[in-house]
Chain A
Amino acid sequence: MGFLEELKALLPGRVLTGEAELAPYESDALTAYRKRPLAVVLPETKEEVVGVVRLCHRYGVPFVARGSGTSLSGGSLPVEDGIVIALNRLNRILRLDPRARIAVVEPGVVNLEVSRQAAPHGLYYAPDPSSQPVSTIGGNVAFNSGGAHCLKYGMTANHVLGLEVVTPAGEVVRLGGESLEGVGPDLFGFFVGTEGLLGIALEITLRLLPRPEAYHTVLAAYESLEKAGEAVSRVIRTGLLPGAMEIMDRLAIEAAEAAVKAGYPKAEGLLIVELEGEREEVEEEAHHLHRVIRESGALEVRVAASEAERQAIWKGRKAAFSAVGRLSPDYIVQDGVVPRSRLGEALKEIQRLSQAYGLRVANVFHAGDGNLHPLVLYDGKKPGELSRAEALAGEILRLCIRLGGSITGEHGVGVEKKAYLREMFSEADVEAMERVKASLDPKGLANRGKVFDPQMEAAP
């Protein structure tokens, strides 16, 4: 028997090889890249995943784990002649223990589902990428996904307590446990964010938090982006620690308005600040926040008086990415990070680059963490526009490195930012990462060609 025959024997009826069956798996949310895999497999248990990985290891066939395929950096792009292991059917919450404040989940569980199941206990799962209604916990773990609340609550890595992983060599290991504290090297923390290069997460233990008792959400409109950015600095200087601080520029506001009619004021910059926590504390903090916002020269200030009004404020922000799709046939989402105090400088430079390249750039970003999301608008049907858009996006990444930041805050390196990894890190740094990869995956099978340059198949 050959590889495909053995695969089919392992997962009867759940190995896709037909043209039409493979098409939906050819790319992820970075649609500019496309590759046809050899096959797509649909395991239903972790034992089946382990079986598939061992088979791949034996035959030297590369594999890509896939959650919902919402990666924006080409993380789940298939490898030619490799297989896609689609994990959506591993979507059970195995245990939700409110007393221990943990949930043990399969990798294909959708992010929002965890909070939904935890809600009756007054608990929730904090990391909230905008893709949370569709993206999976496995994908979140691989990419160390973030969201609007990272400054205060951290990214996915901060909410994972333990992992069961199958290594590329087919060995199953348990890393971490169920307590907030552990002993020994933080191996599960290390696995988070390695983009599926070191194995597949089979089971994930998440920590849950009590839902905040009260929120105080403020929307402030400014005559310039700089003023909105300055307001963020003022808030920080007051000693407040908001749960979220988000900024949108005029283009992003217009897009969001056109798409979901959030009722945002017309302005050059919108700032959303949300306080959250114990009721008495939030009330007190709100006084301080209002003083700061008053002094920041806002044109208009709205305060959510009810949960419905709060949701209305967030609606436009959460829809911003997809809304920009209405302004332009195609766009690239960038994800660089700069020190917060250099946001103004970065935005000005992005503006200049946008003019120089003749492409519109919309900005929506996590201002509290200095995490920019410039959306570079282009039309893929016009010759040369894609490569111009990519060049502009690359300039933005270089800018972030120059200002002391990072090439990615949450979307990962994938295939998209491979070239820039070597600009952010030294040759020795990248070599050490590659050594780690080669040591855990001597045949270079797990998500080959992502993050680093494709690894040659090592001699058996």
Chain B
Amino acid sequence: MTLRPENLEEVREAVLTHPYLRVRGGGTKPALSAPREGEVLLDLSGLKGLLAYEPEEFVFTALAGTPVSEIEETLRAHGQYLPFDPPLAKAGATLGGTVAAGLSGPMRWRYGGLRDFLLGVRFVDGEGNLLRGGGKVVKNAAGFPFHRLMVGALGAFGVMVEVSFKVFPLPPATRTLRVGFSRLEEALSALERLRLLPLDLLALDLIPPNTLELRLGGFPESLRRRTEKLARLLEGSETVLEEDEAHWEGVGELAFLGESPIWVKIPSQPGLIPRLEGLPLGPRRYMAGGELLYAGLEEGGLKALRELGLPHLVLKGAGTPLYPEPPAAFYGPLKKALDPRGRFPGRPSPA
């Protein structure tokens, strides 16, 4: 059964009427939003629209089912953007789904990830209460920060109906440098060197086995000098990509994962990369200075990750999406307080 609420009241009603629900935003992370047996699907794609946006405030508020791509278009018209670079925008990801899945893209390297740009939410908890966390100003420290609790929670604590984000001015121009090395070790050591320099890169990606991609943003006058400086610093065989915009759009859509049956997000670190590279992972790309890996897998890859105890989130493909489960002693009481009847996904497994 699928419900498609058009307003907050209908969301509350749905929550109060059905014992088990699962929210779907845009349909881009099926492993997370496909209903399990007994669950009613709450399709939020009807709950969309920008509610408030004053460019000078660097803040907007929108309904949770609003497609990210619509927001990006509006922001762009005012020379602004979401610096955490939400992935799968073209595929139809919604703001709520992006928050619930906790996903950021390659450009999160420069200013931070989703968690750094979410300012507030309104959500319906498991008892049908419409609640607010955070606020609509760029700085706020009042009350428990429920908005941060929603990040990556996969809808466990409630149905987000409204979200507020901080935005930044869009760099007037960008350039991308691609550098090839002869081996992974060399690419990795260059990556680690770049991480320590004050270079203000928009993106710093490693494409195994031996390529780095660096994206710069800023005023056109200084960009040329900065790109040249980088090329000197790297001394590899470098090319400047002309199709910069389209290229990164493809990366943000995770196009490099291709037809892989399973899509996963894996928190990473440069020091962990040699170990990850020893696993049967399929097409992949390390983003954000090596801190964020998106990989396309077959069953064997997933098994390897679990055997080694490496945390990950499955976006597409079957199975339990989240590994490991959040620590019971902290998560359990939170879940009990906000969703006492366990209407939403993420019921803690009995200890």
Question: If A239-B169, A280-B225, A432-B125 touch, does A101 touch B56 (CB 8 Å cutoff)?
Answer: no
- Tell me whether A183 and B322 are in contact (CB under 8 A): yes
- Tell me whether A179 and B196 are in contact (CB under 8 A): no
Question: If A144-B145, A186-B149 touch, does A278 touch B334 (CB 8 Å cutoff)?
Answer: no
* Interface presence of A307 (CB below 8 A): no
Q: In the complex, which residues 152-174 of chain A have their Cβ closer than 8 Å to any Cβ of chain B?
A: 152, 154-155, 157-158, 165, 167, 169, 171-174
**Which residue on A lies nearest to B169, using beta carbons?**
A239
Name the one of A100, A285, A409 contacting B140, with C-beta atoms under 8 angstroms: A409
B325 to chain A, nearest CB (A): 8
- Tell me whether B226 and A280 are in contact (CB under 8 A): yes
* Interface presence of B206 (CB below 8 A): no
- Tell me whether A406 and B131 are in contact (CB under 8 A): no
| A278–B143 alpha-carbon span in the complex (Å) | 37
* Interface presence of A137 (CB below 8 A): no
- Tell me whether A174 and B327 are in contact (CB under 8 A): yes
Q: In the complex, which residues 359-412 of chain A have their Cβ closer than 8 Å to any Cβ of chain B?
A: 366, 369-371, 404-412
A8 to chain B, nearest CB (A): 28
| A174–B225 alpha-carbon span in the complex (Å) | 45
Which chain A positions have C-beta within 8 A of B200? 277-278, 281
Which chain A positions have C-beta within 8 A of B125? 432
* Interface presence of B29 (CB below 8 A): no
* Interface presence of B157 (CB below 8 A): yes
| A417–B125 alpha-carbon span in the complex (Å) | 26
From B16-24, B38-46, B263-271, the one touching the partner chain is: B263-271
- Tell me whether B141 and A185 are in contact (CB under 8 A): no
Which chain B positions have C-beta within 8 A of A41? none
Name the one of A151, A212, A404, A432 contacting B138, with C-beta atoms under 8 angstroms: A151
Name the one of A151, A158, A172, A432 contacting B338, with C-beta atoms under 8 angstroms: A432
B331 to chain A, nearest CB (A): 7
What 1/0 flags go to A271-312 for Cβ under 8 Å of B? 000000110110111001000000000000000000000000
Which chain A positions have C-beta within 8 A of B112? 154, 158, 180
Output the residue of A151, A167, A406 with the most chain B CB within 10 A.
A406
Q: How large is the interface on B (under 10, 10 to 19, 20 to 34, 35 or more residues)?
A: 35 or more
| A426–B142 alpha-carbon span in the complex (Å) | 13
A320 to chain B, nearest CB (A): 18
- Tell me whether A187 and B149 are in contact (CB under 8 A): yes
- Tell me whether A181 and B143 are in contact (CB under 8 A): no
Interface size on A, residues (CB 8 A): 96
- Tell me whether B132 and A173 are in contact (CB under 8 A): no
B266 to chain A, nearest CB (A): 8
Q: In the complex, which residues 418-435 of chain A have their Cβ closer than 8 Å to any Cβ of chain B?
A: 421, 424-426, 428-433, 435
Name the one of B59, B131, B326 contacting A185, with C-beta atoms under 8 angstroms: B326
A208 to chain B, nearest CB (A): 10
| A451–B157 alpha-carbon span in the complex (Å) | 22
* Interface presence of A39 (CB below 8 A): no
* Interface presence of A55 (CB below 8 A): no
* Interface presence of A338 (CB below 8 A): yes
Question: If A189-B145, A440-B334 touch, does A183 touch B196 (CB 8 Å cutoff)?
Answer: no
- Tell me whether B148 and A284 are in contact (CB under 8 A): no
B306 to chain A, nearest CB (A): 13
| A103–B115 alpha-carbon span in the complex (Å) | 20
Name the one of B113, B326, B333 contacting A440, with C-beta atoms under 8 angstroms: B333
Output the residue of B145, B151, B169, B330 with the most chain A CB within 10 A.
B330
Q: In the complex, which residues 198-232 of chain B have their Cβ closer than 8 Å to any Cβ of chain A?
A: 198-200, 218-219, 221-222, 225-226, 229
* Interface presence of A265 (CB below 8 A): no
| A342–B338 alpha-carbon span in the complex (Å) | 35
| A340–B289 alpha-carbon span in the complex (Å) | 33
Q: In the complex, which residues 84-109 of chain B have their Cβ closer than 8 Å to any Cβ of chain A?
A: 102, 104, 108
**Which residue on B lies nearest to A122, using beta carbons?**
B196
Which chain A positions have C-beta within 8 A of B312? 183
* Interface presence of B278 (CB below 8 A): no
- Tell me whether B151 and A189 are in contact (CB under 8 A): yes
- Tell me whether A185 and B157 are in contact (CB under 8 A): yes
Name the one of B104, B221, B331 contacting A187, with C-beta atoms under 8 angstroms: B331
Question: If A193-B141, A236-B56 touch, does A283 touch B268 (CB 8 Å cutoff)?
Answer: no
- Tell me whether B337 and A436 are in contact (CB under 8 A): yes
* Interface presence of B311 (CB below 8 A): yes
Which chain B positions have C-beta within 8 A of A123? 196
Which chain B positions have C-beta within 8 A of A412? 141-142
- Tell me whether B268 and A439 are in contact (CB under 8 A): no
Question: If A154-B112, A185-B331 touch, does A433 touch B229 (CB 8 Å cutoff)?
Answer: no
- Tell me whether B143 and A421 are in contact (CB under 8 A): yes
Which chain B positions have C-beta within 8 A of A404? 136-137
- Tell me whether B327 and A337 are in contact (CB under 8 A): no
* Interface presence of A194 (CB below 8 A): yes
Q: Which 7 A-B pairs have the closest CB atoms?
A: A189-B148, A185-B153, A179-B267, A439-B337, A439-B333, A171-B329, A213-B198
- Given contacts A158-B112, A181-B108, A424-B135, 18 further A-B pairs with CB under 8 A are A99-B271, A122-B198, A180-B108, A185-B157, A187-B149, A284-B218, A337-B137, A338-B137, A340-B56, A369-B139, A405-B140, A406-B139, A417-B142, A421-B142, A424-B143, A431-B129, A436-B144, A451-B143
Q: Which residues of B contact A (CB under 8 A)?
A: 54, 56-59, 79, 102, 104, 108, 111-113, 115-116, 125, 129-133, 135-146, 148-154, 156-157, 168-170, 172, 192, 195-200, 218-219, 221-222, 225-226, 229, 265-271, 288-289, 291-292, 311-313, 322-327, 329-331, 333-334, 336-338
